[in-house]
Amino acid sequence: MSALAAANASGPARFRPLNAAAVLRAAGDTIPPTWLVLVGIVSVQLGAGIAKDLFHVLPPAAVVWLRLLTSAVVFLVLARPAVRGRTRADWLVAIAFGVCLATMNYAIYQSFARIPLGIAVTIEFLGPLAVAVAGSRRRVDLVWVVLAGAGVALLGRGDGGISLAGVAFALLAAAAWAGYILLSAATGRRFAGTSGLAVASVVGTVMIAPMGIAEGGAALLDPHLLLIGVAVGLLSSVVPYTLEMQALRRMPPRVFGILMSLEPAAAALIGLAVLGEVLTPWQWLAIGCVVAASVGATRRPRAAAAAADPAPDPGPGAGPGVDAPDGAPGDRPG
């Protein structure tokens, strides 16, 4: 039976609207979860590459705003979050979540405008790595901290140097990403499904709107640029979130986390292929150090992993990042 037929097989004989979520889930179940994660990673970084290529006609703040606006509209339509019956604490958590979301995207796009894609993503990956290591009691995790630090130090080697402003913005994105990870769990406990992410996307869109509209100006009225901005939003937020949620239903979170550690390398490759950004051997070694540190921090002894990993299917009500690895589904930077 096809995915389309399966989605409606239980309905009455008369016509009924298709359940889009059921169709997507049925289609996704036919694809190995590892491929879903890898395609999601490529989608995020391809969106980042396309976004950076727009900077010569549309400032970074304007591109960030279009990205957030696109994801907010899509997630609002899909989630239709309930606003009644929410406590003040619920809204404060969701607003803080949205502030982190807006900050990490604004900061990383400002970093992209100043340093190569692969280097920016490598530095911002220190955020989720710090979250992974901070709560650990394993001595071996100190090795991964040192390795990540060595990787960052190596980024400064090579010809031409690295823009300090670009590094600073990437570090700000890393800090915001760490906050986003911590708040995603809190938001997921208060809002069902993607409702929290939808609310946070609206908060982020409103927060960036003044800068985005002021800097974008008349260029935001160009249909061609608007279409590319929408594509960036879909590639960077909606597509990876959908694919990764599908993958986590059939994949242990620790495996997901290890695969996500490939993001800095994927960013460097996209930067090379899409933007022609050639990194030095030292910079590639630096990326390798951070990737290895992330993999090491994510891995756990087999017995502990088996006890800690939840059931493969988190269910339709699982919020973004709840009981999932650091940097789990949601609107990641990049």
Is 80 exceeded by the pLDDT of residue 321?
A: no
- Rounded mean pLDDT of 191-200? 86
Check residue 280 and give its pLDDT: 86
Q: Minimum mean pLDDT among 13-17, 180-184, 330-334: which range?
A: 13-17
- Structural domain harbouring 173: 43-308
Check residue 307 and give its pLDDT: 46
Averaged confidence pLDDT in the chain: 80
| 173 Cβ contact partners less than 8 Å away, ≥ 6 residues apart | 103, 104, 105, 107, 108, 111, 120, 123, 124, 127, 333
9 within a domain of the structure (yes/no): no
HEC profile of 203-248: HHHHHHHHHHHHHHHHHHHCHHHHHHHHHHHHHHHHHHHHHHHHHH
Q: Which of 72, 70, 93, 89 is nearest to 81 (CA)?
A: 72
- Rounded mean pLDDT of 309-320? 37
Write out pLDDT tens, residues 287-304.
998 888 888 877 665 544
Is 70 exceeded by the pLDDT of residue 13?
A: no
Amino acid symbol at 146: V
* Cβ contact 204:333 at 8 Å: no
* pLDDT band with cut points at 50, 70 and 90 for residue 27: low
Distances, alpha carbon 114 to alpha carbons 55, 67, 161, 177, in Å: 11, 19, 12, 19
8 within a domain of the structure (yes/no): no
Is 70 exceeded by the pLDDT of residue 10?
A: no
Is 60 exceeded by the pLDDT of residue 14?
A: no
Q: Minimum mean pLDDT among 21-25, 81-85, 108-112, 329-333: which range?
A: 21-25
d(CA 145, CA 150): 9
198 or 139: which leads in pLDDT: 198
Is 80 exceeded by the pLDDT of residue 269?
A: yes
Write out pLDDT tens, residues 208-244.
999 999 999 999 999 999 999 999 999 998 899 888 8
Check residue 247 and give its pLDDT: 84
Is 50 exceeded by the pLDDT of residue 192?
A: yes
253 within a domain of the structure (yes/no): yes
Check residue 6 and give its pLDDT: 39
| 58 Cβ contact partners less than 8 Å away, ≥ 6 residues apart | 66, 216, 219, 220, 225, 229
295 within a domain of the structure (yes/no): yes
Q: Is this model's pTM higher than 0.85 or not?
A: no
178 within a domain of the structure (yes/no): yes
Tokens coding 108: 């990383």
5 within a domain of the structure (yes/no): no
Q: Domains in the chain: how many in total?
A: 1
332 within a domain of the structure (yes/no): no
* Cβ contact 69:205 at 8 Å: yes
Write out pLDDT tens, residues 136-173.
777 777 888 888 888 888 876 655 568 889 999 999 99
- Rounded mean pLDDT of 81-96? 87
Check residue 332 and give its pLDDT: 63
Share of the chain above pLDDT 70, in %: 78
Distances, alpha carbon 4 to alpha carbons 18, 19, 23, 189, 207, in Å: 8, 9, 6, 32, 39
316 or 231: which leads in pLDDT: 231
Is 50 exceeded by the pLDDT of residue 286?
A: yes
Is 80 exceeded by the pLDDT of residue 93?
A: yes
Is 80 exceeded by the pLDDT of residue 127?
A: yes
139 within a domain of the structure (yes/no): yes
